[in-house]
Amino acid sequence: MLERLRRIWRFVVEDHKYVLLGTSVVAAIGIWFSMQKRSNMSFLRNAYAVEVAMYWFLIGWLAISAVALVWKLTHWKGDAYERTSPFTKPAAKTALRYGSYAVCAITAALFVDRAVMGFLSVLSESLAQDKNPSDFLSSIFYMLDKSYGIIGQGILTTVGLSVFGTLIAFVLAILLVFLRIQTIDRSDNDAVRFFKTVGSGFAKVYSTVVRGTPMMVQGMLIYFAGFGLLRNSGMTVSEIGRVWSTFVAGLVTISLNSTAYMMEVLRGGIEAVDPGQNEAARSLGLSQWQAMIKVVFPQGIKNAIPALSNELVVNIKDSSVLSVIGVFDLMFATKTVVGIYFKQVELYVVAALCYLCLTMVASWLLGRFAKHLSVEPQPLTSVSDMNATVGTVAGTWSSEYSLESKKHQNQEGR
């Protein structure tokens, strides 16, 4: 991020070829800010002469940029512009550089005065109101000030459901994907063959059913089915509420729903592992179970990390459907505040921004986590056939590397 900002800064105010182009855009933005209405907290309210001078300085800069552009268009052949333009002289370049600094400083001052101070002014005025204001932004601030506890509880519930549901689903997906990829080995007896067939079939049916039905329907079925079973056991409604709450039902729903998707993601990552890895492990004496656990699974999980990370982001958004069974998540909290103030658009905009912030933070954290785990896996092979093994996943020995190493060994032998 800092490097990107440095590049933008060099493009706008340091590179003499683009200094007028970049700062003319900045000057236009500053002129637009100066034309906006001043707020009660504006620090330029009593400095009208200073603001007029800033405004005309920006206008003059746009005029200079227009002259330079016309000169460039009329002297575009060869190096005519560099030889004839007054803007390419050393003194002019220095003046333009310092002028670009002034343009950026003026635009920054106008941004703070109009945008930042205006925002603070609207915030302070809305918080001082005795009733809900009619203005859109003021109404949002007023309702957030009065209902931040409800919204905050909904956000915490959403985060808890998403994080814990994804973690539980990851564990269940590892177990199911192991059943899903089971193949019958020649050394298996009849009992092992039966359990492998049943396990693989169960995983396939589970994935098909869960991925083929909406999470909203799954949540209602899980909640009411659990409630009915406990009700038939003789428990009262209050006792059921302590055991089978809407939060627990929502957590079960997210976990079971994500398990199906994460299982398919893990299966894709495992199948992307070079089959030679499994064969090399089996040739070294490892059983099918040991080869899967020690060789194939670690590389397959690593291949699937980006897609697995996205499942958390998806759960943050999809958890909103669980409000239909009474889970007090962000969506349910938003509906509650809507019922208090009868303001739909303002509060749903707040909910959308909250979901956006949660997904952006989750994406950033998961990106950092994936970057931290970017250690290249090494193939499990014997030393004698290391150069002959060709992998298809990141970190395995490639055929090009094998050829180069052989050539180097031949040259040393000669």
Per-residue pLDDT of the chain (414 residues; tens, 9 = 90+): 556 655 555 544 444 556 777 788 899 999 999 999 888 888 888 888 999 999 999 999 999 888 888 877 787 776 776 777 787 788 888 888 888 889 999 999 999 999 999 999 888 888 888 888 888 888 999 999 899 999 999 999 999 999 999 999 988 988 888 888 777 766 667 777 778 888 888 989 999 999 999 999 999 999 999 999 998 888 888 888 888 999 999 999 999 999 999 888 888 877 777 777 777 877 777 776 677 777 777 777 777 777 777 888 999 999 999 999 999 999 999 999 999 998 899 999 999 999 999 999 988 888 777 777 664 433 433 333 333 333 333 333 333 333 344 444 444 444
What does DSSP assign to residue 323? G
Give the residue among 168, 375, 188, 193 at the shortest CA–CA distance from 253: 168
What residue type is assigned to position 248 of the chain?
A: V
CB 278 within 8 A of CB 296: yes
Rounded CA-CA distance 322/241 in Å is 17
Rounded CA-CA distance 126/123 in Å is 5
What does DSSP assign to residue 390? -
Rounded CA-CA distance 96/87 in Å is 8
Q: Residue 329 region, left (φ>0) first, then alpha (ψ -120 to 50), else beta?
A: beta
User: What sign does the dihedral 245-248-252-254 (CA atoms) show?
Assistant: positive
Give the residue among 153, 216, 163, 214 at the shortest CA–CA distance from 354: 153
Rounded CA-CA distance 174/15 in Å is 54
Q: Which residue has the tokens 């909904």?
A: 154
Token pair for 52: 């007029």
Q: Which residues contact 337 (CB under 8 A, 6 or more apart)?
A: 143, 147, 150, 151, 347
Q: Which residue has the tokens 């549901």?
A: 165
| Residue 386, helix vs strand vs coil | helix
CB 29 within 8 A of CB 107: yes
pTM for this prediction = 0.73
What residue type is assigned to position 274 of the chain?
A: D
**C-alpha triplet 68, 73, 76: angle, nearest 5°:** 110
Give the residue among 210, 211, 205, 247 at the shortest CA–CA distance from 226: 247
Rounded CA-CA distance 99/191 in Å is 83
User: What sign does the dihedral 63-67-73-77 (CA atoms) show?
Assistant: negative
Token pair for 245: 């709450």
CB 262 within 8 A of CB 173: yes
Rounded CA-CA distance 26/107 in Å is 7
Which residue segments constitute the domains of the chain, with CATH numbers given? 2-125 (no CATH), 139-388 (1.10.3720.10)
The full DSSP string for 236-269 is: -HHHHHHHS-HHHHHHHHHHHHHHHHHHHHHHHH
Token pair for 350: 């707040």
